[in-house]
Amino acid sequence: MPGGRVGVLLPGPADFPAWRAAARRLLGGGVPPERVEWSVAGEGPGLFAAAALPEGEGRAVRVPRRFLGLAELAIRHRAPARFALLYRLLWRLAGGEAGLPAMAADPDVLRAEAMARAVRRDAHRMHAFLRFHCVEAADGPRYLAWFEPEHHILEAEAGFFLRRFAALRWSIVTPEASLHWDGAALRLGPGGCRRDVPAEDAQDALWRAYYAAVFNPARLRPAAMRAGMPRRYWANLAEAREIPRLIAEAPRRAAAMAARGAVFPRRPQPGRPWDVAGDMPADLLDRVDDPAAALAALREELRGRNDLPLWAAQATQPVFGEGPPGAALMFVGEQPGDEEDLAGRPFVGPAGRMFDRALEAVGIARGETYVTNAVKHFKFRPAGRRRLHQSPDAGDIAWYRPFLKREIALVGPRLLVTLGATALRAVTGRPLAIGKVRGGILRTEEGLPLLPTIHPSYLLRLPDPESREREYARFLADLRQARREVA
């Protein structure tokens, strides 16, 4: 029908192959863009749809690879004009216009690129802000997530979730469609509503605690927070519920931090003039029938040493391990941080809170474990009122190592868990890379089983929610393995 309008009904809102097949037939029939009425099945027919598509395979044109990539993304955009825009670009390319790079300032190209960017951003947010909630079904756990994408990205992003969660059975429900993985096959289903997915599960408390732990009240930037975690996703995110409280409390907490920073660490006590071998009764230290007393003696020995590494003199106090002697699990961290130095207890600062939450998540009671550090003093560099953590070097680790070894012997755990590279080095005496040995059980020189994992502060330093989620899950897996080893 020369001059009349041609209607194209696409089977889905982001069906690139169907759009491409239709576009080829339109090109083959010489139908210019302004005569085409695009619509999507189920979304109502095009207003002027009249003639059907020209018959046949149509005309395949060679297009720059960049156009294909752009079109595959832009077609997922929600704007109804996307199909027409892309066909107009194709028509122009087929008509011999210069390639897309030469059309960089062209309004059609700019529009398509803006659409592609929006789709990419939406996908990134889906990866970061989608949360699965576990539901115990009769045939085992199932993980459900509710997400409201801005664009038609659900099917295109299925691969991401499949790769990530292949071993779980999950469903992602959106207002327009749902995706279901049963461990073997992926199925597309109808849309649903938020009520189809439980609002909260046990993991939510962890997310909230995690977010609160990484939130720095002294660096409160609400605009940046909103940009990083847009409000439209807050309803999905357990941690977002913490935001109003954290913002409200930030000025008070920042002032308290500043005041605390002003407390200059105490000068060290002059070293007590005795050591274990001298004034301390050696038999007390070696009394394995009373390991608590022996541990206390070891602590006193450390306090009394007057040959500490020079920097240790800055610390408020040595921070020794805590927990019941005889604990089956013994955790070894790196060194006390700012809060530990003031409190005199290991793992009570931000990394400690992260550690506590992870232990709780896997059902390990911290009070039944023994928790200590490779290095027993806080090593830091003063920066104004702040004390900036400095990693202990090989010499520091070696200096404290005899204390750690004695402590391990007195506690007598069935399994050691080293948190981070310093602890691994301190326990094994070797500079091993965690990435290379993680997942297996090593042995100390004395033959004690050792499970290496990351330090919880590593999780606090990860910049994006995606990698945090992944690494946190790996950390939990390591802790679960530790629990199984001593069960």
Give me the residues that bind ligand URA (CB under 6 A), please: 333-337, 340, 346-347, 349, 351-352, 373, 455, 457
Closest CA to 414 of 337, 327, 324, 285: 327
Q: Which tokens in the block code for residue 270?
A: 């002059």
Rg (CA), the chain: 31
Q: Which is nearer to ligand URA, 125 or 376 (CB)?
A: 376
Query: By beta-carbon distance, which residue lies closest to ligand URA?
Result: 333
Closest CA to 319 of 237, 400, 427, 238: 400
Q: Which is nearer to ligand URA, 209 or 276 (CB)?
A: 209
User: How many other CB atoms are found less than 10 A from the CB of residue 81?
Assistant: 12
Q: Which tokens in the block code for residue 137?
A: 């079904």
The distance of closest approach from Cβ of residue 455 to ligand URA in the complex, given in angstroms and rounded to an integer, is 6
Q: How far apart are CA 318 and CA 268, in angstroms?
A: 10
Q: In the 8-state DSSP scheme, what is residue 272?
A: P
| Beta-sheet strand order (sheet of 415-419) | 370-373, 329-333, 415-419, 449-453, 442-443
Q: Which residue has the tokens 């911290």?
A: 366
Q: Which is nearer to ligand URA, 314 or 457 (CB)?
A: 457
The distance of closest approach from Cβ of residue 40 to ligand URA in the complex, given in angstroms and rounded to an integer, is 55
Q: Which is nearer to ligand URA, 71 or 351 (CB)?
A: 351
For residue 133, list its beta bridge partners: 144
Instruction: Answer whether 330's CB lies under 8 Å from 372's CB.
Output: yes
The distance of closest approach from Cβ of residue 392 to ligand URA in the complex, given in angstroms and rounded to an integer, is 10
User: How many other CB atoms are found less than 10 A from the CB of residue 22?
Assistant: 22
The distance of closest approach from Cβ of residue 80 to ligand URA in the complex, given in angstroms and rounded to an integer, is 54
The distance of closest approach from Cβ of residue 350 to ligand URA in the complex, given in angstroms and rounded to an integer, is 8
The distance of closest approach from Cβ of residue 206 to ligand URA in the complex, given in angstroms and rounded to an integer, is 19
The distance of closest approach from Cβ of residue 262 to ligand URA in the complex, given in angstroms and rounded to an integer, is 22
Q: Which is nearer to ligand URA, 178 or 335 (CB)?
A: 335
The distance of closest approach from Cβ of residue 355 to ligand URA in the complex, given in angstroms and rounded to an integer, is 8
Instruction: Answer whether 452's CB lies under 8 Å from 442's CB.
Output: yes
Q: Which is nearer to ligand URA, 174 or 335 (CB)?
A: 335
Instruction: Answer whether 306's CB lies under 8 Å from 272's CB.
Output: yes
The distance of closest approach from Cβ of residue 372 to ligand URA in the complex, given in angstroms and rounded to an integer, is 8
Q: Which is nearer to ligand URA, 249 or 339 (CB)?
A: 339
Q: How far apart are CA 145 and CA 132, in angstroms?
A: 4
Q: Which is nearer to ligand URA, 58 or 337 (CB)?
A: 337
Q: Which alpha helices (H) appear in 4-58, and where do they start and end?
A: 16-28
Q: Which is nearer to ligand URA, 168 or 434 (CB)?
A: 434
Closest CA to 392 of 291, 312, 301, 294: 312
The distance of closest approach from Cβ of residue 445 to ligand URA in the complex, given in angstroms and rounded to an integer, is 22
The distance of closest approach from Cβ of residue 348 to ligand URA in the complex, given in angstroms and rounded to an integer, is 7
Q: Which is nearer to ligand URA, 236 or 373 (CB)?
A: 373
Closest CA to 329 of 357, 351, 359: 359
User: How many other CB atoms are found less than 10 A from the CB of residue 399?
Assistant: 18
Q: Which is nearer to ligand URA, 12 or 456 (CB)?
A: 456
Query: How far, CA to CA in Å, does 172 sit from each of 14, 42, 110?
Result: 18, 21, 32
Query: How far, CA to CA in Å, does 319 sit from each of 11, 44, 140, 299?
Result: 66, 70, 45, 9
